[in-house]
Amino acid sequence: MKRRWISIITASVLAVSMLAGCGGQQTADTAENAAEESAGEVSETEESGEDNLTKSKAIDWQSATDNAGNPLFIDTLIPEAPERPEDPDALPETDELHWYDFEYPYAQVEKLEQPESPADGCIGKKIILLSNGDHPYHTAYVEATQQACEIFGMEVEVMSANWDANIQTQQVDQAINEHPDLIIYKPVDQETSVTHLRKMYDAGIPVIGSNVMPSNEGFQYLLSFCGPADWDQSKLMAEYMAEQAGYEGGYCVITHNPGGSAYYARAYGVITKLAEIAPDMVCLDIQSPGTDSAENVKQVVSDWITKYGDELKVIFTSETTVQATGSIEACEAAGRSDILIGGIDNSEIALNYIQEGKLTCGTNQPPMQDGALPVLLAAKWFNGEEIDDYVFMAPAVINADNVEDYLPAQW
């Protein structure tokens, strides 16, 4: 706070002489005392800041665990983008570089200058989490965000847009008006994300993107982005399933909802990897029956079984609740227990199916570790530590041999 000293000078010569003769020493003493007090306050503030930073850095976050006793803060990887081809669209869709701008949307982005870290410690800071919507995965995500904030001595407020971009726009304005120290942002959709991020950037609030990628243009406004390595986990699943299938046979892909980043990653991550390592495996069909009706998925898979017969050996799903359930039910109804089914994520449904031998594999995309990661990055930034622009959770395949390591399920 700036202090303003207002000196009132009277026109009376007598008054001036009296002040000079009688009050001069008192005024000097008062000014000297005020200067000493001010210096003391600054010294006390600096010392308090140093103490807060020291305490913040001493927090033992490494020993924190989730509900299964696994580390709350998961191993991460820093992506390294290859050189961009001159014209990715000219390459066949089975070439992973065809999808360069989808897999590495941040690679060609020149980030804007970001707010400077206060470097005074994470303890006492306020974070607002702008969540995209309600879902069992995101419930576990939020629980971990709150747990991580408690570990780091930070306050967190959660706003959920319930999958409505208009509501999220209102919440962005509300968050800005509350002047938090940092915002964690999970966009409802990519189209509105750039407008939201520009608003928060112009307000001078640092933003960490999480879980869902914004539009390509939106990356320039982010302090950092973290979340699942969708392309990596899709490729890892493809490698495992190819091995289980003997690197041959026809396969079909059930995509995520069209338009989002997961749609491309969870379909073409699989297709490009199989084209590379298993050229004898042929993609028979790709369908998008959605993620909200197992019956719709069951009908699609039933049609595949009828059309392709024994040629169909493997089915890939982009999630393991609705899509895995519909696929399994269709195969059981047709007496096709020989068809291998692999899916993305590690829901309770998926882990049960793996134990029962109905699902060949899932992938480790833990929502609690997903929710804790941006808080860790925020804490490090408040502590003056350098954080990477892009941080992804290290993926893993879950199968019958290791499923016990991932129980109980987080969602």
What Rg, from alpha-carbon coordinates, does the chain have?
Answer: 28
Q: Which two tokens stand for residue 391?
A: 């941080």
Q: Which residue range forms the structural domain that includes residue 305?
A: 231-367
In a domain, 250, yes or no: yes
Q: What average pLDDT does the segment 205-225 reach?
A: 95
Residues 185, 82 within the same domain: yes
pLDDT 10s digits, 137-163: 999 999 999 999 999 999 999 999 998
**Would the pLDDT of 14 be above 50?**
no
**Would the pLDDT of 247 be above 90?**
yes
The number of distinct structural domains making up the chain is: 2
pTM of this structure: 0.81
Own/partner contacts of 107-111, CB < 8 Å, gap of 24 or more, are: 107/81, 108/84, 108/216, 109/216, 109/217, 109/219, 109/220, 110/220, 111/219, 111/220, 111/222, 111/389
The total of other beta-carbon atoms located within 10 Å of residue 203's CB is 15
In a domain, 33, yes or no: no
C-alpha–C-alpha distance, residues 312 and 252, integer Å: 8
Residues 343, 250 within the same domain: yes
Residues 195, 273 within the same domain: no
C-alpha–C-alpha distance, residues 403 and 284, integer Å: 30
Using DSSP, state whether 269 is helix, strand or coil: helix
Q: Report whether 270 contacts 316 (CB < 8 A).
A: yes
In a domain, 405, yes or no: no
In a domain, 100, yes or no: no
In a domain, 318, yes or no: yes
Residues 165, 82 within the same domain: yes
Residues 80, 215 within the same domain: yes
* Residue pointed to by tokens 């000219």: 90
pLDDT 10s digits, 175-191: 999 999 999 999 998 88
* Residue pointed to by tokens 């998925």: 297
- Comparing 14-23, 91-100, 189-198, 228-237, which segment has the lowest mean pLDDT? 14-23
pLDDT 10s digits, 70-93: 899 988 999 999 999 999 999 999
pLDDT 10s digits, 347-360: 999 999 999 999 99
State the pLDDT at residue 28.
43
Instruction: Supply the CATH number for residue 165's domain.
Output: 3.40.50.2300
In a domain, 165, yes or no: yes
State the pLDDT at residue 259.
75
